[in-house]
Amino acid sequence: MSEIRALTYSDLPRVVAIERRTFPTPWSLSMFVLELSKPDCVCLGSVRPGPPAQRDEIDGYLICARYDEAYHLMNIAVDPDQRRHGIGRALIDAMLAQTGQDANITLEVRVSNAPAIALYEAYGFRSVGMRPRYYADTGEDALIMWRAIGTPWEAA
Ligand SMILES: CC(C)(COP(=O)(O)OP(=O)(O)OC[C@H]1O[C@@H](n2cnc3c(N)ncnc32)[C@H](O)[C@@H]1OP(=O)(O)O)[C@@H](O)C(=O)NCCC(=O)NCCS
């Protein structure tokens, strides 16, 4: 089982390596640095428990920015070799523990990204619309999802 803790700047090389293996248009190092520098950012990493060297090995991360009326889940990814072991759920559980169960949270996701959509739906996110051709790299549409006040906190 993974442990979830706050991301630190020293985690970022490993985060960027996972990011590059995951997304066709990965975030740059400076994009992660910018988010970590914001005091309200919910920036979380998943580490494998064990000896000290292993505890620094990030295998998943989540970046959620706080705005006036809502949070924006901007990025979540798990090391491709570690998926389907509950790390995505653990990251979202920890995010909700920080934002509070009543927080309004929004996100965009590629319409073809069935694994992520299934994860978000399990946590009460619902599709509220589309952003046509939102992703410049492939021209794919984005689904806009919201998790609104009153949604049960626990995943189904
Ligand atoms: C989406 C992602 C973060 C999920 O992480 P994960 O650690 O594999 O997820 P978990 O093991 O915690 O799975 C939680 C739930 O998500 C859903 N899910 C995850 N992977 C899935 C898959 N390949 N197919 C269908 N549902 C899937 C399931 O509902 C799953 O619950 P279950 O295992 O009880 O069926 C991971 O697939 C990933 O990094 N994807 C690439 C990055 C990405 O697309 N990020 C989202 C951008 S908007």
Distance CA 111, CA 143 (A): 6
Q: DSSP assignment of 3-42, as one string? A: EEEE--GGGHHHHHHHHHHH-SSPPPHHHHHHHHTSTT-E
pLDDT at 154 over 60: no
Q: Superfamily for 3-147?
A: Gcn5-related N-acetyltransferase (GNAT) (3.40.630.30)
Average confidence (pLDDT) over 46-55: 76
Pocket test for ligand 1, best of 27, 119, 134, 145 (most atoms within 8 A of CB): 119
Q: Where are the domains of the chain?
A: 3-147
Tell whether ligand 1 has an atom less than 6 A from the beta carbon of residue 105.
no
Structure tokens at 57: 């090995």
The strand pairing partners of 147, in sequence order, are 105
Q: Read off the pLDDT of residues 52-103 as tens digits, 9 standing for 90 and up.
A: 666 678 999 999 999 998 999 999 999 999 999 999 999 999 999 999 988 9
Identify whether 120 is a catalytic site residue.
yes
Q: Distance between CA atoms of 77 and 83, rounded to whole angstroms? A: 9
pLDDT in tens, 92-148: 999 999 999 889 999 999 999 999 999 999 999 999 999 999 999 999 999 999 998
Contacts of 155 by beta carbon, 8 Å cutoff, 6+ apart: 89, 92, 93, 122, 123
Supply the pLDDT for residue 150: 65
Does 35 have pLDDT greater than 70?
yes
Q: Is the CB of 116 under 6 A from ligand 1?
A: yes
At 156 the pLDDT is 47
As a whole number, mean pLDDT of residues 35-42 equals 96
Ligand 1: does its nearest atom lie under 6 Å from the Cβ of 64? no
Q: Is 108 designated active site?
A: yes
Beta carbons of 64 and 36 less than 8 angstroms apart: no
